[in-house]
Amino acid sequence: MQVEMRREGGDLLFYLYKEKQRVGFCRAREEEERINLVGFEISPQWQSRGYGSFFLKKVLALTGGFDRDKESCHRIVSPGQEAGRALCRKYGFLPPAGGEEGAWVRLRRPELSAVAFIQQNLSRWLKPGGFFIDATCGNGHDTVFLCRLAGPSGRVLGLDIQPQAVEAANRRLHQEGLEKIGRAVQADHARLADWALPASADCVVFNFGYLPGADHRLFTRPASSLPALEAALEILRPGGVLSACLYSGGVNGDEEKKAVTAYLEALPPERYTVLICRFANRPETAPLPCFVLKH
């Protein structure tokens, strides 16, 4: 089976082919931030063979219906037969209130990742004009995020021990027009105290693990991560926040995750509030968001 996509004006036309014979059609039309699937059909002689399921899944995928990072809304007029309604239910469409006739709607919200959860909270806690540090800047995604929070009157410093990460982060800052707010330097996060004065930073962000797109055998370890956390807490001003995303499983195992959580749990409560936010219905190896609020 093969799906062909064509554009006609503002619409997308999808065709399903079986051995060069067209057996399915659907028109996708974007209206008011939702995708209307119009005229979805499978040729009668090819129905009840799984082609409808294959085709609808492909159409949803090609119109953003499975994007984990973005909200999507699809609307389809369900066929009257039970098979059509079952197909809609299979892919998360819900019938209209009060009956099974008319348009069915599928609303998919972004999956909440550990990084997104951390950023949501930092967005609430941090104010423009602050001094923020991305202690493990990687490819620069967190650095850019912090620059947008800091605004033109703020300052952001990114650190990474790998030259390709520093180059990627500075390139991203330049592309986003944020190079006057933030910059990345090559440095070991264990030497964080060399780059900021005590009680000078409003936020320090750690995203531990390995550099995406690079050698996964190179990853952060407790020997450098624990001194980095200790330095970060000294650099934080009272009222500042430290965030850390911990990873386990795969090549890096769980040594760092255990060491960091043990370190955070032992911090004196009169000086710090520590939050370790586990996703209760996800695997034990799911990324673990952590916060430290300095009193």
DSSP assignment of 23-74 equals EEEEEEEEETTEEEEEEEEE-GGGTTTTHHHHHHHHHHHHTTTT-TTS-EEE
Residue 222 phi/psi, 5° resolution? Answer: -55, -30
Asked, colleague to colleague, whether 2-108 and 114-294 share their fold, the answer is no
- Please give the pLDDT value at position 96: 83
- Please give the pLDDT value at position 74: 95
Determine the topology of domain 114-294 in CATH: Rossmann fold (3.40.50)
Enumerate the β-bridge partners of residue 17: 2, 22
- Please give the pLDDT value at position 222: 81
d(CA 225, CA 256): 8
- Please give the pLDDT value at position 79: 65
Q: Is 25 exposed, middle or buried (0-12, 13-18, 19+ CB in 10 A)?
A: middle
Q: Is 81 helix (H, G, I), strand (E, B) or coil?
A: coil
Tell me the average confidence (pLDDT) per consecutive run of 10 residues in the chain, 295 residues long. Answer: 92 93 94 90 90 95 89 84 88 79 86 92 97 93 97 97 92 96 95 96 90 58 90 98 90 85 98 97 93 98
Nearest CA to 147 out of 162, 160, 163, 158 is that of 158
Residue 264 near residue 274 (C-beta atoms within 8 A): yes
- Please give the pLDDT value at position 221: 76
- Please give the pLDDT value at position 217: 56
Tell me which architecture the domain covering 2-108 has in CATH.
3-Layer(aba) Sandwich (3.40)
Annotated domain spans of the chain: 2-108, 114-294
Enumerate the β-bridge partners of residue 105: 75, 94
Residue 38 near residue 27 (C-beta atoms within 8 A): yes
Residue whose entry in the numeric block shows the structure tokens 């386990």? 248
- Please give the pLDDT value at position 90: 93
Q: What is the pLDDT of residues 172-219, one digit of tens each?
A: 999 999 999 999 999 999 999 999 999 999 999 999 875 565 555 566
Please state the pTM of the whole predicted model.
0.76
- Please give the pLDDT value at position 199: 98
- Please give the pLDDT value at position 250: 73
What six digits make up the tokens of 252?
């890096």
**Sequence-distant (≥ 6) Cβ neighbours of residue 266 within 8 angstroms:** none
- Please give the pLDDT value at position 150: 97
d(CA 10, CA 33): 13
Residue 143 near residue 169 (C-beta atoms within 8 A): yes
